Structure 1
């Protein structure tokens, strides 16, 4: 909630300063200096439309989670959960709905947003929006299905109670993990290993500490994200795009020529 409020305040402040710049030369000069960064941000947003549109949607859902009564949120998340019962009843709508809810009432929203705005946005620029959508949806759907099969096995073998079929499992995390796996795949050697270690720690530490079935889902999401990205790269290589620094220099050049 604090993060979303901060973003809103910054946006309003910026446009208010642009309005005041019409009446003050000093403010006009400051706005012109800052315009390099806002222009860069605008270009960055436009270069990864799927990522930023999706981020805006799940942030809006999180705002609902943080402000609505808890019993209403429980109903909504249960309805959108990729539980055995829900997927068996309405698989398509369930997979769609569950993709927009951040687990645990939006816990860790800032981390999600930072990773989507940087790692996933960079990956979308390299893969292109269509391929990135396929990769992340593959991670979300296939990891959810694999987790469901694991739940069914646990129930049928007596290792878990039958109530597990109604357990709530929603979240943006599968999409995030699948996208990160795809991003790591195309990183240069040094960054590849660093990214692999970070992703591995993110997935394996909770798995060994909490021993949760849903933590296995993150492992599945990374696997399917990696495989789908690998297959798509066989069809065509990644696109050549400017680095963030090069994009920043381009924005500075464009503004200086105005």
Structure 2
């Protein structure tokens, strides 16, 4: 039993050391999720709406809500995010390094939010969405996660890279042909942003030239 616990602690410490940003973020989500579960349901929605990146909040406190919206999960359970963060975010952070991983996730979260909310604003102004949509609840970490899924394409060697790319484009693109919500647009946009972050990916070292043996 002791050797197993020792290997478990060693493995956990290795993950934390290689991807500190991922697990600090995950810890923040755990704390906020526990806090939500202790709130009155009537108060919870208003509390989250004040931290949502809806059109009203973006027009008054854009920086604050762009940051705070990535620290809360709208209901549900925390453990699926622990799995997704370990499989996706931790791997991307270890591969890219914390600064570049953070740049990818921030770009996906911020730009996809602005583009999707801009599309919602257009829908409201043209009568395709009700005026009350300016206060739509929009929080969570799914845009940043989609951006990480996109940039991980370059972690795979061909031909698996192209299979993976086809799968994620289908997964995120198919909802645009059916439901066409602003969140569907945001998810697909964040995936494209992750794919556009190829310049941030580490380059593989070139193989050394072969030398001919001396005659």
Bucket of the pairwise TM-score, normalised by the shorter protein:
0.7 to 0.9
Q: Is the 8 A contact 1:58 1:101 kept in 2?
A: yes
Report matched runs for 1:9-24 at 5 Å: none
Match of 2:116 among 147, 150, 153: 147
Q: Is the 8 A contact 1:102 1:173 kept in 2?
A: no
| Residue matched to 1:185 | 154
Structure 1 residue 213 and structure 2 residue 179: aligned? no
Match of 1:136 among 105, 108, 121: 105
| Residue matched to 1:164 | 133
| Residue matched to 1:80 | 51
Unaligned runs of 5+ in 2: 206-215
CA displacement at 1:164 relative to structure 2: 1.1
| Residue matched to 1:237 | 203
CA distance in 2, matches of 1:69, 1:112: 23
TM-score (norm: length of structure 1): 0.73
More helix by share: 1
Structure 1 residue 69 and structure 2 residue 40: aligned? yes
Q: Is the 8 A contact 2:117 2:182 kept in 1?
A: no
Q: Measured at CA, do residues 208 and 110 of structure 1 come closer, stay the same or move farther in structure 2, by a change above 3 Å?
A: farther
CA displacement at 1:49 relative to structure 2: 0.3
CA displacement at 1:148 relative to structure 2: 1.3
CA distance in 2, matches of 1:71, 1:90: 23
| Residue matched to 1:100 | 71
CA RMSD of aligned residues (A): 2.0
TM-score (norm: length of structure 2): 0.87
CA displacement at 1:153 relative to structure 2: 0.9
Aligned residues: 205
CA displacement at 1:190 relative to structure 2: 4.3
CA displacement at 1:207 relative to structure 2: 3.6
CA displacement at 1:209 relative to structure 2: 4.0
Q: Is the 8 A contact 1:51 1:116 kept in 2?
A: yes
CA distance in 2, matches of 1:127, 1:204: 26
Unaligned runs of 5+ in 1: 1-29, 240-258
CA displacement at 1:66 relative to structure 2: 2.4
Q: Is the 8 A contact 1:184 1:195 kept in 2?
A: yes
| Residue matched to 2:94 | 125
CA distance in 2, matches of 1:238, 1:122: 17
| Residue matched to 1:47 | 18
Q: Is the 8 A contact 1:136 1:175 kept in 2?
A: yes
